[in-house]
Amino acid sequence: MGFPVDFLWGGASAANQCEGGIFEGGRGLANVDVCPAGPDRNAVITGHRKMFRMDGEHRYPAAEGVDFYHRYREDIKLMGEMGFKVYRMSIAWTRIFPTGEEETPNEEGLKFYEHVFQECRKYRIKPLVTVSHFDCPIHLIEKYGGWRDRRMIDYYLRLCRVLFERYRDYVTHWLTFNEINMILHAPFMGAGLCFEEGENEEQVKYQAAHHELVASALAVKLAHEVNPENQVGCMFAAGAAYPYSCKPQDVWEALLTDQENYFFVDVQARGYYPSYAVKRLQKKGVYPVMAEGDEKLLREYPVDFISFSYYNSRCIAAEEQETAEGNLFKSAKNPYLKFSEWGWPIDPLGLRITLNQVYDRYQKPLFIVENGLGALDCPNADGYVADDYRIDYLREHIRAMKAAVEEDGVDLMGYTSWAPIDLISAGTGEMKKRYGYVYVDQQEDGSGTGKRIRKKSFYWYQKVIESNGEVL
């Protein structure tokens, strides 16, 4: 049986990790631009160190990215060569509204993305566009405190309206926010939040989350009004939470972890705050302030489909254990799994488990929009990378995905692996942590020719797509 004939194979990237050109084309400064590489990055992305400008002491990898801004034609051609059906990408908010407050959008920024979409069309690649992949204009952060302020909803919707109307003929699949649950783990990067000493951080985070959830519902409403063919999805960082043992306390903590993760999707897909969230947020004194009509909006405009990133499962223990890394989430080290060079668990079966859990919970079409292996690639003298380790990782995850579709009956729309080409890592800001099918000759300090070189995985994925997942 296999995958449906219209299954959407492709890859995913984010403007702030690949585009560069942040001072070109009238673009304004965003939170994602001022997240430095190095030891201070974590303090900045978690909102515990204010950094609203670039200083002379840090390196800011988003400034150059991998120069997709100038090389998008070459990069999209390579995607076309692989046979991509879909390319998940994002819009840099400040390329369209440099401060976020302008009444009129920046035409040069709009034309750039129009040219990107035209290139996609040339190779019959459908764009799947994330409106906000962590982007938040610095001006709005300085003036309003980012998403802690309800006025952000109006500025976000102004962006949505321009995008939905301008690109009506090019884009019919949209995501409102990337990894919306990251607001709890990387609040500055995820929502432009910085905290003052003594402030109740949980309260700020959940209030900002509420504003984003309302904005997402209004974006769904607007997208359907502008073009009835539009399909709008939510997106969260997923990964099944396993209890460390069968000890009931471990099982309970794993359940709480899952609920924290699913909270956002519960609201976006079901249209209301689930009872467990209401009770716990009230008990903690951090239940968000809602405006009249918010609950009605959430109820009336749920998302059409659910998308998520999956890199690894998590292992949850009630008592402290040896820890493992993973997509900005730390968890107990699972003794039954292998680990990547960055300490992330490798768990293909966890993807099948996650697909089943999410589909059972929501009964809406699913879309895997990030999955990949960050690794040190060692090119030979010609720049070629024999990345069998990446092929092995992706093969096993696709097999698990196929089993979920074929044997478990999961309704899966598509798969966009992270990433088509090497780009800057979001968590660490590193270039050496590579994900792509295409090697980019660029080093940690920004040096290199920028040349694109096809890896072994490029030709492997080409065959996977050509065979609709039958040749692995």
Select which of 119, 212, 325, 370 is catalytic: 370
Q: How far is CA 78 from the centre of its chain?
A: 22
DSSP 180: G
Tokens describing residue 122: 């040339």
Whether 370 is catalytic:
yes
Distances (CA, A) of 32 to 110, 141, 171: 20, 12, 24
Whether 101 is catalytic:
no
| Side chain identity at residue 102, one-letter code | E
Task: Measure the CA–CA gap between 316 and 169, rounded to whole angstroms.
Answer: 46
Nearest to 240 by CA among 228, 255, 227: 255
Task: Measure the CA–CA gap between 281 and 259, rounded to whole angstroms.
Answer: 12
- Helix (H), strand (E), coil (C) string for 61-102: HHHCCCCHHHHHHHHHHHHHHHCCCEEEEECCHHHHCCCCCC
Task: Measure the CA–CA gap between 255 and 260, rounded to whole angstroms.
Answer: 9
CB atoms within 10 A of CB 54: 16
- Measured between its terminal Cα atoms, the distance across the chain in Å is 15
Sequence-ordered strand ranges (E) for 245-347: 305-310, 314-316, 323-324, 331-332, 338-339, 345-346
Task: Measure the CA–CA gap between 331 and 313, rounded to whole angstroms.
Answer: 9
Q: How far is CA 70 from the centre of its chain?
A: 23
Nearest to 419 by CA among 444, 467, 455: 455
Select which of 19, 64, 119, 179 is catalytic: 179
Q: How far is CA 149 from the centre of its chain?
A: 23
What are the residues whose beta carbons fall under 8 Å from the beta carbon of 153, sequence distance 6 or more? Answer: 211, 214, 215, 218
Contact 208, 186 (CB under 8 A): no
Angle, CA 37 vertex, CA 377 and CA 443 arms, to 5°: 35
Nearest to 450 by CA among 20, 35, 81: 20
Contact 285, 207 (CB under 8 A): no
Q: Which residues are catalytic?
A: 179, 370
